[in-house]
Structure 1
Amino acid sequence: MKNAVILALLITFATPFTGAPAWAQTSGKMGANMGKNMDPNVASSALPPQSFSPLVETGAGTVALAVDGLRLTLNDGQIVELSGIEIPGMNEMGAADPSNFPLQAKQALDQLFVKDKDIILYQTRDKDTGRVNRMGHTLAHVVQKPGNVWIQSYLVRQGLARVAPTLRNPELADQLYKIEQQARDEKRGIWADGSAYAVVKTTEAINPSPRFIVAEGTVVKAAIVSNRVYLNFGDDWKKDFSVGVEPDVRRALARAGIDPLQLQGKTLRIRGWVRDYNGPFIDLETPAQIEFPDGSKPLPAPGGAFTVEAPKNPETDTDQRPNAGMDEDSQNDQQAPARSGPVRE
């Protein structure tokens, strides 16, 4: 805890002081759109009513300080991490973004908790999964009292955070997606013109360097090999954007009413950590990573049929080959890789 407090103090003291709210300040290097897109009045009155029924209320506390844009230290020493969202630049390597969204998010929390510091915690219903990360920090959706401000939605609405559901914390993604779309429509924060974090189109070249992205495009081909489904978003699977779906995720998709093999021809918005595997590639970990911009969902096969057995003749059955139909002359079938890359619990 001592190190967390020291880190928070260093960040606070490094923040320039002006008469304007601290979280709304922007550095001289920020794009012209950044400051004007901030709205200090966006609070519970500007956010739609939310349902926390997928979660359970597990406790309450009083905020001592914001360690950064994702973590709060409570008076009892507990560190709470905001689940279900991520802040661009906070977990990425490479050149620093002059917009400095991690600092802006921290300043937003500083301003929000100047007076009303009491909070309520909502966590996963399974007390053994998704409530604590590897650092021992509490993972939760946080609501500020007495204004009933849902902190995750507050940061997303300001354009300071993106929705980032994980395998252990997929809840409330649908609600946050609607709020994120509002911020995107109004070009707030990370969605401002010229931002490095705009939605990437799968028809354009996508840098496969490891980082969190939001990609949108139409599935050109859905194929299965060795129990793994591949969603290919281009004609050349060796360089175009693709998504991999493991059997356990495919079962979770079926429970959510989605058959990944029926996604061909569908326009999707996919988010997650991209990596280089025959071009830019995302490993799907939860159905919550998929958005359907048109509001539709492909239904499972009639009768709930759902096959996950490994194919018997993958060499002769072209439908069982990875990216089948994408490159019929290729002799180098794509092999299902182990999941890798950054993981945020």
Structure 2
Amino acid sequence: MFGLTKLRHLFLCVGAVHAPAAGSAQEAAGVCALEAAVPVEIAPPGSDLELWTMDGRRLTLSGLEPPSGAAARESLQRFFAERLRSGRLVFLAAPTATPDRWGAAAAGLFVEGEGSDAPLVSLAEAAIGAGLARFRPDPAAFACRNGLLAAEEQARRRKLGLWTSGEYHILDAGRPETLFGKKGMVLVEGVVGAIGEAGGSLYLNFGPRRGDFAVVIWKRNLETFARAGTSPRMLTGRRVRVRGLIDTAFGPRMEILSPAQIELLLGDERVGSSERR
């Protein structure tokens, strides 16, 4: 049985959990929209970290990049199993209408927080904040990115979970030699030195030499950045953090498809800071 305070909180946060009308908060905030979420039962997660509803829908937790190592994945599996165990409240927000090529719909899950009267929390944000996963900049999570990035930053500063391992360190764009041989999603920080253009691509160059790190953005995608309030052409001289896959065929490069892959860094966020390593 759930306490009166918990039920009152749920009534306030999820009072209208039936099918939302067009233009609702669910459409505006997607996987972040707790107020438009619906109750759901989730099957116990297996070692593959797949999430399935009890009625047979396959889900991918939007905004969460699972770790690659076996031990780290086992820790995340235990975290999921504890928060999704039978008898605990779980709410599903905005599963995408069209699943990905593996048949999974991007969605947000909200679960009970720690403590009898704790509010519901984003499962992705809780896992990232515990250092068990990183932020994944998929389009469905763009509206949630501030909370997810803040959770990742806190875990990194506190050196929790993944952030105790050198495998996940933020890489220095000014040292392109360290980018070769990297696999999977990586985070790279540096100052954009100049903007270049060639054919249908825009280049954010982090150094003056041919072999220096560069970010590639297809011009056809610039409208996506403009709609998000981001102008790559205005990043000259700015310190940024980018996340994605490294391509070393023509020097260390990273193709950016979404504005969620770029963070504009302010204040004391510097590549040389030991607290960020």
Q: Aligning the two structures, in what range does the TM-score lie when normalised by the shorter sequence?
A: 0.7 to 0.9
Judging by fraction of residues, say which structure has more helix: 2
The reply on whether 1:151 has 2:118 as its aligned counterpart is: no
Distance 1:173 1:183 in 2: 15
Return the match for 1:226 from 194, 199, 223.
Answer: 199
Match of residue 216 from structure 1:
189
Cα RMSD of the aligned pairs, angstroms, is 2.5
Match of residue 278 from structure 1:
250
Tell me how far 1:64 sits from its aligned partner: 2.0
Return the match for 1:289 from 254, 258, 261.
Answer: 261
Distance 1:257 1:74 in 2: 35
Distance 2:121 2:227 in 1: 31
Q: Which amino acid aligns with 1:206?
A: L
- TM-score w.r.t. length of structure 1: 0.61
Match of residue 99 from structure 2:
132
User: What SS is found at the alignment partner of 2:108?
Assistant: strand
Match of residue 42 from structure 2:
63
Match of residue 62 from structure 2:
83
Match of residue 29 from structure 2:
54
Report the more deviating stretch, 155-164 or 104-113: 104-113
Runs (4+) of structure 1 exceeding 6 A deviation are: none
* Aligned positions of 1:1-345 closer than 5 A: 54-55=29-30, 57=36, 59-68=38-47, 70-89=49-68, 97=69, 100-123=71-94, 128=97, 131-145=98-112, 147-167=119-139, 169-192=141-164, 194-204=165-175, 205-237=178-210, 239-294=211-266
Tell me how far 1:222 sits from its aligned partner: 0.9
Do the aligned partners of residues 183 and 289 (structure 1) sit closer, same or farther apart at CA in structure 2, a change above 3 Å counting?
same
Q: Which runs of 5+ in 1 are unaligned?
A: 1-48, 90-96, 296-345
Tell me how far 1:249 sits from its aligned partner: 2.3
Do the aligned partners of residues 139 and 223 (structure 1) sit closer, same or farther apart at CA in structure 2, a change above 3 Å counting?
same
- TM-score w.r.t. length of structure 2: 0.75
Deviations 1:191-249 (A, max 9, x none): 12x43111111122212544100111111111112231101112223x22111111232
Q: Which runs of 5+ in 2 are unaligned?
A: 1-12, 14-24, 114-118, 268-277
Match of residue 116 from structure 2:
none
Distance 2:51 2:216 in 1: 34
Tell me how far 1:135 sits from its aligned partner: 2.0
Identity of aligned residues (%): 25
Distance 2:170 2:48 in 1: 22
Q: How many residues matched?
A: 232
Q: Is the 8 A contact 1:63 1:118 kept in 2?
A: no
Tell me how far 1:116 sits from its aligned partner: 3.9
Do the aligned partners of residues 256 and 138 (structure 1) sit closer, same or farther apart at CA in structure 2, a change above 3 Å counting?
closer
User: What SS is found at the alignment partner of 1:121?
Assistant: strand
Tell me how far 1:58 sits from its aligned partner: 5.8
Distance 1:116 1:153 in 2: 21
Q: Is the 8 A contact 2:83 2:112 kept in 1?
A: no
Match of residue 18 from structure 2:
none
